[in-house]
Structures are given as C-alpha cells and as structure tokens.
Amino acid sequence: MIVGGSVRVPGDKSITHRALLLSALARGTSRIGGGLTSLDARSTARVLRRLGAEVSPLRQGATVTVRGGRLAPPELPLDCGNSGTTCRLLLGLLAGQRFSATLTGDASLRRRPMRRVTHPLAEMGARFDDGGHDGLPLTVRGGRLQPLRWELPVASAQLKSALLLAGLTGSVPVELTEPAPSRDHTERMLRALGYTLEQREGKIVFHPDGKPTPLALQVPGDFSSAMFLIGAAILAERGSLRIEQVGVNPTRTAALEVLRRMGAAVEIENRDEPFGEPVATLVTGPAELRGTTVEGSEVPGLIDEIPLLAVLASRAERTTTFRDVGELRVKESDRLALLARNLTAVGAQAVIDGDNLLVTGGDAPPRGRVTTGGDHRIAMAFTVLGTIPGARITIDDPACAAVSYPGFVDSLASIRVA
C-alpha cells in the first residue's frame, strides 16, 4: 500500500465524555464543536438526557449544544452501553446528587469491575447496591459527601476523574495520590473552568471553589484513533501521511516514544493549546520496525494503543515485550487474551507470561480469522494489519469499530494512494 494526503480523525473520546458531563452540570448552554459521535459518546449523551439535561443530537460536523443545570432523578435505569468511561465517570457525578439511580450496560460492560470506583466513593458517603457482585447493574444513592484523601491502587484516569467529579458535585476537597501519571483531561478541563487544582509530588489536590459554567470548546482529534492511521502508514510500502488537529496531551502520547524505539518516526508540527489541551499535526510514513520492551511504568500512558502496537510488533525484527499489561484483562474484553489468540490465529507468534505479552515479529503475510469479542480496538488493530500486501484477514465484527471511530474503514481507505 502507498499512503498519502492529509486527513482528520474523529474528536477525542475522553474529552468529549468530560465536556458533556461538565456541561450537564452547568447552568446555561454549552457548545461543543468537533465532539466524537461514536456509540460511546452517544451513551453519555443518552444518560444525561435521562437525568434532565437537554443534549442536541450528536451528528458528524455539527456543534453539540447542552443545556444543563439541576439534574433530576431518572425514571428508568441509565444504560451506559459499552462505555466504561460513561459508567465510571457517571458514578462520581451521581455520588453528590440527592437521589438514587441505577446504572447498567451491555453484556461486556456488565462484566467490568466497578468496586475500584465505588469503594472510595462510599468512603465519601455515597451508597451503592451492586447485588453482591462487582459489576453492573448497580444502584447509587448520592447525598452529602465528605472530603476524600485517597491513594489510587492503579493509575486510572477513569477512577481519578470519578473522584474529582464527586468532589465537584459534592462541593468537598479531594486529594489523590497516583502510583503513576494517567490521562489528565479532567484536571485540564477543571483548570480551564477556573477551579483550583494543584499537582505536586505525585499528588492531585482539588478545591471545588467555583461553580460549573457553560463550556465553549472545539474538541481535538482523538490521538488513540489517529494511532491506527499512523500504524497503517508505518506498514505501508511508500508515502507520507499528515493527520491534522490531533490532541497531543503528553499523558496520551507515550506510544510515540515506543514507536521511536521501534524505528518509526512521527513528526509533530503546528502546535497549539486551546482550552488547555495541546493540539498538533502528526506526520509519518513507512518504517522498518525492530522489537523493544514496553515497561510497566509506560503502560498507563498508552493502554489503549497496545493492540495497535502489538500488531506492529508482529511485523518487527525480534521480540517486543509488553510488561505489566494485566489491566488489559478488564477492558471492553479480555483484551490481553484476545490479542495473543488473534495474533496466533493470523500466523504471528504471541505468548502471555503472567501479566506480560511477548510478540515476535515475522514477514509472512498475515492470514486467518480474527475474533473481536466486540472490542473496537481489536477490530481496528487487525484491520490495519490486513493492509499488508498478501494479507487475508477476516474480522468477525468489523462494525464494532464504531464504538470509538465511526467511519474507520472509510478513513483507512482515504489514505490509500495505491
């Protein structure tokens, strides 16, 4: 394949979720341009409507308006679909509300653990009924909250953001200690809205010293989505690809350092920083890849990029080791098992050793059937692998890519020159 041209990717999923949630709390009308219109983002919009916020339809190219203020008790369960971000952040938002709500989701989301979020929220004073199992459905009974000082057991932007949102809605300070840095979109957005949030010596200290105000922002392109097009360009035979207006938040771009060690170059041009989030154009092209080691300390900054990095590793010289990636087992699927199984199914060498994944590269055209388990990132990663000349990969559920990247297959086709 020869790649070329300039392309944009859908809006950042993490920022879209947070913008919608904070807009629902603000009295007045917020305007969100460039937001993601995927199934996950629509799940957040849907539950906010059930809580009384007025959210316009999420359509490609349209500015989303949110008229928020006082949330109301929902008459029906809040269906979060497949979106773990929607569910976990919503738990924090609801913890400070003076009513009860039941959260549920699809079969995949109902299996994902929630007690890592509900435990510290319960310490703040919220009450939960999960029927005795660590998952959905569960009912949250919010109310008067207490200040929280908490040491996070894992580096998790979802957990951290849920606790910060609880501090916001409950009007109590929150002090968190992270074992390693994780995505900081919530912190940046809260600062942009005028709240006091300090970060020092691994601690995050939040003071709810304001009121939610309407937002007016343009959501940058999602870096995790851009990585799949970057991967296709790296595997191409010739050409150069430009991806414009991509969010390059430093807590999201650790994958670029891994690519550099593997021998691929991604240039960053035209930097800007609207609403506290850095944005840039990414330029890349084909590369001869070599194996590397991804340390556990790097994983929080590239957890969503591991499926793409793993399929790239299957085309690299020598072995690539991903250390301490056990968190992949509790994503939209058991992503760790699916990666190893599917890489093996298409002729690559992949082994799980405890919480480590080892992928040994080869040059034979990948051929076989991929089982996604409904996981959008598995589907997109192996679709990228299927662009290699001679590849014959069948993906059982390619449509699940719409969870985070509507129109992914069309975007992939658009960068193909020949």
The tokens describing 308, both together, are 């793409």
Dihedral sign, CA of 257, 258, 262, 266?
negative
Q: How far apart are CA 398 and CA 172, in angstroms?
A: 44
Cα 183 from chain centroid (whole Å):
9
For the record, the structure tokens of 381 come out as: 């990663």
Pairing, β 6-7 against β 2-3: unpaired
Cβ–Cβ under 8 Å, residues 268 and 290: no
The owner of tokens 């409507």 is: 49
Catalytic residue among 272, 304, 396, 397: 304
Could you tell me which residues come within 8 angstroms of residue 69 by beta carbon, excluding any fewer than 6 positions away? Answer: 25, 26, 27, 28, 53
Q: Which three-class secondary structure state does DSSP give residue 216? A: strand
Tokens in use for 382? Answer: 């192996």
Encoded amino acid at 216, one letter: A
DSSP 333: S
* CA–CA dist 157, 177 (Å, integer): 12
Q: Do 356 and 322 form a contact (C-beta atoms < 8 A)?
A: yes
CA distance 8 to 214: 27
Per DSSP, the three-state class of 349 is strand
Whole-angstrom CA distances from 148 to 95, 175, 215, 220 are 13, 6, 27, 32
Considering Cα of 52, then 158, then 37, then 30, what sign does the dihedral take? positive
Q: Respond yes or no: is residue 272 known to be catalytic.
A: no
Q: How far apart are CA 252 and CA 270, in angstroms?
A: 18
- Torsion angles phi and psi, residue 203, rounded to 5: -110, 150
Handedness of CA 279, 280, 286, 291 (dihedral sign): negative
Q: Are strands 279-284 and 6-7 parallel, antiparallel or unpaired?
A: unpaired
Active site (catalytic) residues: 304
